[in-house]
Structure 1
Amino acid sequence: MERCAWPKNLSSSRKREIQELCGHNPKKLKDVFDAHSQTGDNPQQPLFADDLIVSVLRSFSNTQSLSSAAESYEVLQAPSNAFVSSEVSMGSESIRSPVFICSKESLMEAATVIYEGRADVASEILRRLSAMPNFMGNSEQKLMGYMLSALKSRVSPVDYPPPVAELLAEEHLLSVWSLYDMSPCFKLGFMAANNAILEAASEQPSTNKLHVIDFDIGWEGQYRNLLILFYVQSIPQAGSQSTLKITTLPDSFNSEERLKMIGDRLTELAAQMNVRLVFNIVRQKLSELSRDSLGCEPDEVLAVNLAFKLYRVPDKSVSTENPRDELLWRVKRLAPRVVTLVEQEMNGNTAPFTMRVGEALAYYGALLESIESTALWGKSEQVRAEEGLSRKLGNLVACEGRDRVERCEVFGKWRARMGMAGFELKPLGPHVAESMKAWLHCWPRTRDPRFTVKEENGGCSFGWRGRTLTVASSWC
C-alpha cells in the first residue's frame, strides 16, 4: 500500500501548499513526522511527511468537502490552534489520539452547515464539540460555551429551548442593569445622551423646564446622573426652582409597578437637590401618541430619549406594521428639541445566519473581555451580567421572526432610518468625546488604554481594542 498517495478530492492548489510547506520548514516537518511515526499503525512502516501533512491539511477542508452524512465523520477535525493530544493506556500499550477543543473556527463550521440545511452534520459537530472540555474560566471560554449552547438551540429547539420569554423576565432586566453598571461602553453612552439633552436645554435659556420622554427607562442610573447634572446647570438661576419632567410608558420589559418604584427613588433624590421632579407614567398605544396625551407644555424644552430602545422594537422584517419606523415617525411629530439615540454597534438584524454568528462572536467576545477587565463589583454582579449576555447571544443566534427579541444594527443603518423619518443629525462633536474620555479616567479600572472613545460620523463611539461596542448620537 502506497502511504503517500494524494487523496482524490485534493485540489492542485492544496498540493502546492503541501509542497511549499515541505520546502519552507523541513526541520519542523521532520520533527512532527518523527513524533507521529512513533504512534503509527505500523511502527516498521513510518508515515511519509507528505502523507502526514495531507492528513493535517484535510482537517482544514471546507465543510462542503465533508460527507453529507454525519456518520461519515471518523473524527471531528478542527483548526490546528484547537489541537491537543491525549494518551489512553490499554494494557501494555499507549494509544495517542487527537482531541479537539471548541474554537471560533469549529463553531463557524457548525454555523455554515446549519445555514446549508445539513442538520444531521451540524448535530454531529455540536455533539463532538459538547464532549470537549470547556472550563468556562476566562472570557474566551465563556464565549465558546455560550455560542455552543446557542447553536444547539438552533438545531434542536425542543431539546434545548432558546431564550425567548427569559428576555422579558425580571431576572434578565436585573442582568441588563448589571451590564450597564459594569460596562463603561454602555454607561458612557447614557452619559453622552444626557450631555446632548442638557445642551439642548441650554440653547433655550428663557425656560428652566425640561421634559424628557422615555419609551423605555432602560437604566435608572441615567436619570440619577441627569438629575445631578440638571441641578448643577440650574444653580445660576437662583430664586426660581427648576423643573424636570420625565414621562415614560410601561411595556413588556418595564411594568408600571417597576416604573413607579423608579419614580419614587428619583423623586426622593430630586428633593435633596431642591429640583422639582414630575414623574408621569402614561399607558398609551403608539398610534395615540401626541403632545397633548404626553402632557407636553409650550414653555418647556422637550427631549426624547431612545437609549437602547429601538433594537428591541420589531421592524418590517418581522411585522408588516413596522413598529420601529412607526415609533420614529410618531416621535418626529412631537417636534422635540432633541432626540438621543444610543445603540449597540452590531449587525444582528437582517444579516444572513453565518454572518450573524460571526458578528456575535466578535461583538460578544470583545464585550465579555472588557467586562472581565473592569470587574470591580462582587462576583455575583459579574455573573449576573454575563448570564444576561448569554441569553442575548442565544436569542440572537437561535431565534427568528418574533422570537428574536433583540435586533441590533450598525450606526450607518440607524442614520438611514432616522433620515427616512425626517430627522437631521446634530453632531455631538469632539468636545463630547473629550468629556467622555475625562469621565472614563475618573473610574479606577477604566483607565485601560484598550477602551476607546472617539467622535465618528457625527456620533460618539465607545469600544474595546478597536471594536466599537456602542454609539451615541443626537437628532432634531
Structure 2
Amino acid sequence: MFDDVLLCKGENEDSPKCSLNGNSAQHRQIKRSNGRRKKNKKKSEAEDLWSLLTQCAQSVGVNDQRTANEMLKLIRQHSSEFGDGTQRSAHYFANGLTTHLAGMGAPLYAHLLSNRTSAADALKAYGVYVLACPFKKMSNFYANKRIMELAEKATTLHIIDFGICYGFQWPCLIQLLLAQAGGPSKLRITGLSSHNQCNVIAKKWETIQLEELKITKDEVVVVNCMYRLKNLPDDTVSPTSARETVLKLIRSINPESFIHGVANGTYNAPFFFSRFRKALFHFSAQFDIFEATVAQDDPQRMMFEKEIHGRDIMNLVACEGTERVERPETYKQWQVRTLRTGFKQVPLNQELVKKVMDMVQSSYHRDFVVDVDGHWMLQGWKGRIIYALSCWKPVKN
C-alpha cells in the first residue's frame, strides 16, 4: 500500500503514466502553472492557519478569553481531524488551546491516559507508523545490533529497558539471539513501565533503588532507553532533578552499554507562548510525515495521530507545572547531562549507520534524513532533527 502511495506522490502530469492526449508544450505549461497555483494556495492556507493559531496562543497566554474564543471559532472552521496534515495539526492544537482556556488540562489529560486503546489496536496503528516512518524501526535495528555485539561474550544478558511499553523492540532481538551460535544461554529483561510484561517495576523512575533491579555479578547488563526520558520532571519542576537522579541510577548500574534515544525538541520553555510556537513547528513535521506517506482516510493513521500526537499536544498546550510531562530537550543538552553524570560516548558503528542510511533511502520517502553529528546518529524529516541516538559507557573511576 505504501509503495503505491509514494509512487503517486512522486508522479506528475508530464510522466508517461499521467500523459494526456494532445500533449503539446503549451498544454504542459498550463498544467504546470495550475499545479503551482494549487501548491501556492495550499501553502497560503497553511500559513493562515499557523497565523491564527499563533495569534490565538498569544491571547491565551494573556488570558484574553474573548479574543481567543473568536479565533478558535475561525480555526475550527478550517481544521479537522479528517483533513490534510496542516488541518489535522491545527485541530489538535485548537483542542489544547480550548482546554487550556477552560482550565481543564490536568483532568482531561488524565482521562486521555486512562482511556487507552487495546494492545491489538495499538499494534495496528504502530504497524502503520513503522511502515510509513523509519525512526523507531531504524533505532531498534541499530540498538539491537549493538546489543548483539555485547551478547557474544555473555552467558547471561540482562537488558534494563526504561520505558518498555509494549516491548515491540525485543521479539526481533530474541530471534537474533536464538539464531546466534555461542550467544548467551540466558536472557533477562527488566522493564520499567506500567505495562504487565517481563520483570516489571512500575513506579517513578527517580524513586527506584539499585537493589530493586536484582543485578548479579555474572550478567552483561545493557540499559536501553528509547525516547522516554523526556517525560521525567526537569530542573524547573523540582530543585532535585529527576533527570539527574535517573542518570545517576543508570551510572550506578555500571552497564556495559547505555543506549540512549533522544526525542529532540526545543518546546520545553517555561513560558507558554514560546513553548506553543516551537511545539507547533515540531508537530507540523510529524503530521506532514503522514500526509506525505499514508492515505488521509487510513483508520490506523487517524488512531495514531489522535492517541499519540493529539495526546502529547494536549499535555504540552493545556497542562502546566508538574502536570506537564512533555518536556523534551535537544540531544546536545542531553549530551551535557550525561557527560556530567560520569559517562563517555562510544563511537558510532559506521557500518551499521551506513546500513541504516541505505535502508531509509531505499525503503522510505525521500524527505527522511539520516545524518551523523559527533557520536550521535540523527534522524529527521526535511532537515528537521526529530530523533537522535547514541551509546555510552561509564567512565572508570
Number of the residue aligned with 1:336: 255
CA deviation profile, 1:64-88 (whole Å, cap 9, x unmatched): xxxxxxxxxxxxxxxx9349xxxxx
Match of 1:171, SS state, is: coil
Task: Determine the C-alpha separation between the residues in 1 that align with 2:231 and 2:257.
Answer: 21
Task: Determine the C-alpha separation between the residues in 2 that align with 1:102 and 1:384.
Answer: 26
Task: Determine the C-alpha separation between the residues in 2 that align with 1:135 and 1:376.
Answer: 13
Task: Determine the C-alpha separation between the residues in 1 that align with 2:276 and 2:250.
Answer: 33
Deviation at 1:407, TM superposition (A): 1.3
- What aligned pairs does 1:354-369 form with structure 2 within 5 A after superposition? 354-369=273-288
Task: Determine the C-alpha separation between the residues in 2 that align with 1:108 and 1:357.
Answer: 8
Number of the residue aligned with 2:386: 469
Task: Determine the C-alpha separation between the residues in 2 that align with 1:248 and 1:335.
Answer: 17
Task: Determine the C-alpha separation between the residues in 2 that align with 1:349 and 1:135.
Answer: 25
Deviation at 1:172, TM superposition (A): 8.8
Deviation at 1:417, TM superposition (A): 1.5
8 A contact 1:429–1:459 mirrored in 2: no
More helix by share: 2
Deviation at 1:133, TM superposition (A): 6.1
Do structure 1's residue 243 and structure 2's residue 186 form an aligned pair?
A: yes
- What aligned pairs does 1:134-283 form with structure 2 within 5 A after superposition? 134=80, 136-158=82-104, 162-167=108-113, 169-171=115-117, 175=122, 178-179=125-126, 181-182=130-131, 183-202=133-152, 205=153, 207-232=154-179, 234-235=180-181, 237=182, 242-250=185-193, 254-255=194-195, 258-259=196-197, 263=198, 280-282=199-201
| 193-202 or 154-163, which deviates more | 154-163
| 186-195 or 384-393, which deviates more | 186-195
Task: Determine the C-alpha separation between the residues in 2 that align with 1:376 and 1:208.
Answer: 47
Aligned to 1:423, which of 339, 343, 349?
343
Match of 1:125, SS state, is: helix
- Alpha carbons of structure 1 residues 307 and 112: separation in structure 2 relative to 1, 3 Å: same
Number of the residue aligned with 2:322: 402
Deviation at 1:356, TM superposition (A): 1.9
Give the gaps of 5 or more residues in structure 1.
1-79, 84-100, 264-279
- Alpha carbons of structure 1 residues 227 and 130: separation in structure 2 relative to 1, 3 Å: same
Q: What letter corresponds to residue 267 of structure 2 in structure 1?
A: G
Match of 1:305, SS state, is: strand
- Alpha carbons of structure 1 residues 381 and 142: separation in structure 2 relative to 1, 3 Å: same
8 A contact 1:430–1:455 mirrored in 2: no
Deviation at 1:102, TM superposition (A): 5.5
Deviation at 1:145, TM superposition (A): 1.2
CA deviation profile, 1:157-204 (whole Å, cap 9, x unmatched): 3499642342354329865983464531122222222233233444xx
Do structure 1's residue 325 and structure 2's residue 275 form an aligned pair?
A: no
Task: Determine the C-alpha separation between the residues in 2 that align with 1:321 and 1:433.
Answer: 37
- Alpha carbons of structure 1 residues 422 and 378: separation in structure 2 relative to 1, 3 Å: farther
> TM-score, normalized by length of structure 1?
0.65
Do structure 1's residue 438 and structure 2's residue 380 form an aligned pair?
A: no
8 A contact 2:81–2:92 mirrored in 1: no
Do structure 1's residue 118 and structure 2's residue 64 form an aligned pair?
A: yes
Task: Determine the C-alpha separation between the residues in 1 that align with 2:208 and 2:90.
Answer: 45
Deviation at 1:325, TM superposition (A): 1.6
Aligned identity (percent) is 25
Deviation at 1:332, TM superposition (A): 0.4
Deviation at 1:213, TM superposition (A): 0.7
Aligned to 2:289, which of 344, 355, 370?
370
Q: What letter corresponds to residue 185 of structure 1 in structure 2?
A: F
8 A contact 2:79–2:91 mirrored in 1: no
CA RMSD, Structure 1 to Structure 2 (Å): 3.1
Report the structure number with the largest CA radius of gyration.
1
Q: What letter corresponds to residue 66 of structure 2 in structure 1?
A: D
Deviation at 1:117, TM superposition (A): 4.3
Match of 2:281, SS state, is: helix
Task: Determine the C-alpha separation between the residues in 2 that align with 1:128 and 1:282.
Answer: 47
8 A contact 1:196–1:428 mirrored in 2: no
8 A contact 2:158–2:188 mirrored in 1: yes
Number of the residue aligned with 2:369: 452
Q: What letter corresponds to residue 103 of structure 2 in structure 1?
A: P
Match of 2:164, SS state, is: coil
Number of the residue aligned with 1:277: none
CA deviation profile, 1:338-376 (whole Å, cap 9, x unmatched): 111112111132353223222222221111221333439
Give the gaps of 5 or more residues in structure 2.
1-42
Task: Determine the C-alpha separation between the residues in 2 that align with 1:283 and 1:385.
Answer: 25
Task: Determine the C-alpha separation between the residues in 1 that align with 2:372 and 2:123.
Answer: 26
8 A contact 1:341–1:473 mirrored in 2: yes
- Alpha carbons of structure 1 residues 172 and 363: separation in structure 2 relative to 1, 3 Å: farther
Task: Determine the C-alpha separation between the residues in 1 that align with 2:123 and 2:265.
Answer: 17
Task: Determine the C-alpha separation between the residues in 2 that align with 1:453 and 1:125.
Answer: 38
Task: Determine the C-alpha separation between the residues in 1 that align with 2:45 and 2:286.
Answer: 22
- Alpha carbons of structure 1 residues 133 and 449: separation in structure 2 relative to 1, 3 Å: closer
8 A contact 2:106–2:319 mirrored in 1: no
Number of the residue aligned with 1:303: 222
**Highest RCO, 1 vs 2 (Cα 8 Å, sep ≥ 6):** 2
Task: Determine the C-alpha separation between the residues in 1 that align with 2:124 and 2:272.
Answer: 28
- Alpha carbons of structure 1 residues 378 and 102: separation in structure 2 relative to 1, 3 Å: closer
